[in-house]
Copies of this chain bind each other. A is one copy, B any other.
Amino acid sequence: MKQKITIKTIAKELGVSTSTVSKALKDSHEISKETKDKIQAYANLYNYKPNSLALQLRNQKTKVIGVILPKIVHHFFSTVIMGIEEGAIEKGYHIMVCFSNESYAKEVETLKVLSNGSVDGLIVSIANETLKNKDYKHFTDLVSEEIPLVLFDRVVDDILCDKVVVDDVGAGYKATKHLLDNGRKKIALITTPKHVNVGTLRRQGYEKALIEEYIKTNNNLIIEIDENLDVRKQIEPVFNLDIDGVFAVNEIYAANAIRIAKEKGLKVPEDFSVIGFTDGLISEYSSPSITTIAQHGFTMGKQSVELLIERIEKESEVYSPKKIVISSDLKLRESTKPSS
């Protein structure tokens, strides 16, 4: 890389001191108009840009927010990133994005590296494997170092920090209720393994809605998908049971369910209803398009940064972790009939 121009070179070139240059560039009133003009002209000419590293070191802040996501191919996480980025830029921050790829080891490593001072704070959604291990030491360490941390979507109570989540129980309830309103009684649930708490919460909502209708939960109708195996093959068997609807906790599962239903000759939504979660492009372009619970990823992302930045900038105050709950909405499409 070409030698960058610094305050020092300007100072030497113009025969003044570095601090004069520094002040002149900030239009300080301490400096005479003519020297200011001279210095500013020179700086412009040679396209001087202050070295942000030096500033960061000096100010002890980077204006960078670290973001660690499990993966990005879920449309949901893409929208969250957009939200985070937008909120960050608005407040003069930038984001550094990393992926844990659902791996515990990589999460630990990434957390360690980013907390070396390269970021002012972190926004994280916890990796599956970590959730499974229940080992949160890397997070609690962070908290005790008092590095601002916001957890979103996949959060756990063991970590004392700010959180942004959707009302998963309520959302699961809403989804199931909608199917019940469609006249469905035998509703399968396609969800994640138990250690992924969002799945568990949505399941609670599902059960709650059933109970209200005096329907007993049938565990055979609940499929916990292992993402390491073929998703479709795991869903298929439930279609051999007597079911008339499916609630899937994400859009991939929902899309698979629709495919299978159609192959089995079931007419959606006339004979069979499907509802998904996360309002992504798959739901929109599947046919029939899929009714879903919209998770508002963009909003979650934006709220997360705003919370984080507030924490970063007002570190003086007493720390009492906040939890923001984002409400979810039913996005009605073709895979279910409107509630009667």
Instruction: Report which A residues bind B (CB closer than 8 A).
Output: 1-2, 4, 47, 49-54, 56-57, 62, 64, 71-73, 75, 78-79, 81-82, 85, 89, 94-99, 112-118, 141, 144-148, 252, 255-256, 258-259, 262, 280-282, 285-287, 315
Contact = CB atoms under 8 A, between A and B. Distances in A.
Contacts of A94: 96, 98, 113-114, 118
A78 B71 CA distance: 10
Contacts of A285: 252, 255-256, 259, 282, 285-286
A152 to B, nearest CB: 17
A54 B54 CA distance: 8
Query: Which has the most chain B C-beta neighbours within 10 Å: A53, A115, A286?
Result: A53
B49 A57 contact: no
25 contacts: A1-B145, A1-B146, A1-B147, A1-B148, A2-B144, A49-B116, A50-B116, A52-B117, A53-B53, A57-B57, A64-B96, A72-B72, A72-B81, A72-B82, A73-B82, A81-B97, A94-B96, A94-B113, A95-B98, A96-B96, A96-B97, A252-B281, A255-B285, A258-B287, A286-B286
Nearest to A141: B47
B53 A117 contact: yes
B115 A49 contact: yes
A24 to B, nearest CB: 19
A47 B137 CA distance: 13
Contact of A53 (B57, B141, B145): B57
Contacts of A98: 85, 89, 94-95
Contact of A99 (B64, B82, B116, B315): B82
A140 B165 CA distance: 44
B1 A51 contact: no
B262 A287 contact: yes
Contacts of A75: 73, 281
Contact of A282 (B53, B82, B281): B281
